[in-house]
A and B are shown apart, each in its own frame.
Chain A
Amino acid sequence: MIPGWLIALVTFPGVVVHEAAHRFFCDVTDTPVYEVKYFQPRSKPAGYVIHGRPRSLGAALLISGGPLLINTVLCALLTVTVAYRIFVLGAGIGGPVLLFLAWLGYSIGMHAIPSRQDAASFAAQVKEARGQGVTLLLAQLLSGLITLANLARFFWFDAIYAIGVSLAIPAMLGAF
């Protein structure tokens, strides 16, 4: 079994983008940020953002789910060429530039899924905002899904997710 800190070290661009996405959405929703660590090697967690209570459930959703959006979009864009070449045309990665794009893209994609702490933070907000009907139900469902996705990390779900995302644009373009 590969230790988590080693995976985080190899895929550190993903950690940085993940934390930057939290930070960005804190700023966008005017949520105070008290401390940010974009990446700390050989530590757990590999990165974190300490912020104040979001003003609304929507803001909490954006902050917790921000990395899912940003990391997924970046992964899809960065890996589209590599995925197209490998999975559609049966060509190799083809040179250091594409190798760099593959490393960067898949690293970012592997850190798209919000962490357990993100899910816990969001769940706490959901709990506080009790009685908001459909929004609350959707929020609880999302919180549950994040928790489930984190459990599935044991089966390399984060890597499977990144590969799946990399195939999204070629699939949308009818390549398969």
Chain B
Amino acid sequence: MAIVEQPAPPGQWTDQSRVPPHTYPLWVVAAAVLTVIAALYSFGQVQTLIDTTGNMRAGQTALAAHDYATAMVQFEAAHEQVPSSRKVTIYLATAEFGAGEEQEALALINGMKFSRSEWTTLTQTMPPSIQAHYHLTS
């Protein structure tokens, strides 16, 4: 909030009461430095995330072309970069099912619950015999 000076009685808010310009409390300077470091750190992570997205996109293209070996390589690279990415995990498992590596795929999705769209992705390649082990819950 910025409050503009209103006409004040003479003698008040003279230049003597002016806060010296470009002087900030130490804690504000420290907080500013910390914030800038945090911003730089955050921005520094972007390249990895761009690479991960690139690998994921390349994997999706290969998956759409039923080139499961290439898709697996791309998704594995993305999975290594951001292991907690749910999206990449689902795609990698889909590629592994497509490549016939069912045990690896099942190990990857072990204990997970899926949304409808995730299930749609997985069942593109998941054998019906494995699908039968999963149940729909609301």
Contact = CB atoms under 8 A, between A and B. Distances in A.
Contacts of B15: 32
Contacts of B46: 80-81, 84, 169, 173
A133 to B, nearest CB: 23
A175 interface: yes
A10 B116 CA distance: 36
Contact of B56 (A52, A89, A114): A89
Interface stretch (B30-38, B92-100, B104-112, B129-137): B30-38
Interface string B9-24: 0000101011101101
Chain B contact surface mostly: helix
Interface of A: 13, 16-20, 22-23, 26-27, 30, 32-36, 38, 45, 47-54, 60, 63-64, 74, 77-82, 84-85, 88-92, 94, 97, 100-101, 104-105, 108, 114-115, 117-118, 121, 124-125, 169, 173, 175
B84 A74 contact: no
B3 A91 contact: no
A16 B31 CA distance: 9
Nearest to A16: B31
Interface in B26-48: 28, 31-32, 35, 38-43, 45-46
Given A32-B15, A50-B3, 7 more contacts: A13-B35, A16-B31, A20-B32, A78-B38, A91-B86, A118-B1, A121-B3
B81 to A, nearest CB: 9
A95 B86 CA distance: 16
B49 to A, nearest CB: 4
Interface of B: 1-5, 13, 15, 17-19, 21-22, 24-25, 28, 31-32, 35, 38-43, 45-46, 49-50, 52-53, 56, 82, 84-88
Given A16-B31, A89-B85, A118-B1, A34 B38 contact: no
Given A79-B42, A81-B46, A89-B49, A117 B1 contact: yes
A32 B5 CA distance: 9
Contacts of A108: 35
Contacts of A121: 2-4
Contact of B42 (A13, A38, A101): A101
B38 A48 contact: no
4 tightest Cβ-Cβ pairs between the two chains A and B: A90-B87, A77-B39, A91-B85, A89-B85
Given A20-B28, A89-B56, A91-B84, A81 B49 contact: yes
B112 to A, nearest CB: 12
Contact of A85 (B3, B25, B32, B49): B49
A125 B32 CA distance: 30
Contacts of A125: 4
B1 A35 contact: no
Contacts of A52: 4-5, 13, 18
A45 B3 CA distance: 11
